[in-house]
Amino acid sequence: MTRVILAAFSLLFVATAFAGVPPPRDLDARAGFDQHIGAKVPMDAPLVDADGDAASLATVAQGKPLLLAFGYYRCPNLCDLTLHAMAAAVTRMPLRAGEDYRVAFVSIAADETAADASEARDMLERMAPRAQPKHWLWATARPLAVDQLTRSVGFRYFRDPRDGQYVHPAGIVVVSPDGRVAQYFFGVDYDARALRLALVDASKGQLGSVIDRLVLLCCGYDPSTGRYSLLISRLMIALGCAFLAAMAVGGLWLRRRTP
């Protein structure tokens, strides 16, 4: 496991300890993220939104990149941190949630209802209105739909019978417009610049500027950290091409100046 994932689990250990229940011994084996880059997400899996209406990731995404997170609304540990971290990153990005991309939070708890989703939505709307939580999908679902979605993205969790709480990892899954897993961001602190690049990359040219595409050309996504890092080989190629182009332009200019 990476340091980021371990940090996220450390938070879970601390939170569980404060609740008076030690973490299960087999926590790492039963809860975590298995990266399924390129896997197809069942976008048509039936969901129920915060208003009690039928929904799905497909109807929400509508061909846009999607930020997808799992958890549950009554979670006393990581979920609140995850939601606030998502809101903070969304607020800092120049891309517009609900227009340039979509955001969805799906409950893994079978006993949660649209009322729980609505309460969480209203809470985040009061605390982080600039993140536009009212335009996010706040969903609940039957166990079969939850199982299909979580398995597709490698999200492993379980319900601890000792206290009835769900043990799960924290993170965001970036889903491409065609419904495939594009990237992962682990933990409860998301770099807005990296998240923006991930959405631009997932959009396949639909989002972002020329500068964004140049940055993506010279940077590579590191799935172990959820960050973009500079790729020296790509940078050297880009600089070499720029140098050759400059030489060609300079030679043409000199030729035209020569009597």
List domains and CATH numbers for the chain: 3-191 (3.40.30.10)
Distance CA 198, CA 175 (A): 10
Can you give the pLDDT at residue 122?
97
Cβ pair 142, 110 in contact under 8 A = yes
166's tokens: 């769900």
Can you give the pLDDT at residue 194?
84
The pTM assigned to this predicted structure is: 0.75
Can you give the pLDDT at residue 164?
87
3-state secondary structure of 82: helix
Can you give the pLDDT at residue 15?
44
Can you give the pLDDT at residue 78?
85
Distance CA 17, CA 3 (A): 21
Can you give the pLDDT at residue 24?
63
Can you give the pLDDT at residue 75?
92
Q: Which of 179, 132, 182, 155 is nearest to 69 (CA)?
A: 155
Can you give the pLDDT at residue 23?
65
Distance CA 108, CA 72 (A): 6
Cβ pair 105, 204 in contact under 8 A = no
Amino acid at 255: R
Can you give the pLDDT at residue 69?
97
The residues of the chain scoring below 50 in pLDDT are: 1-19, 206-218, 230-239, 243
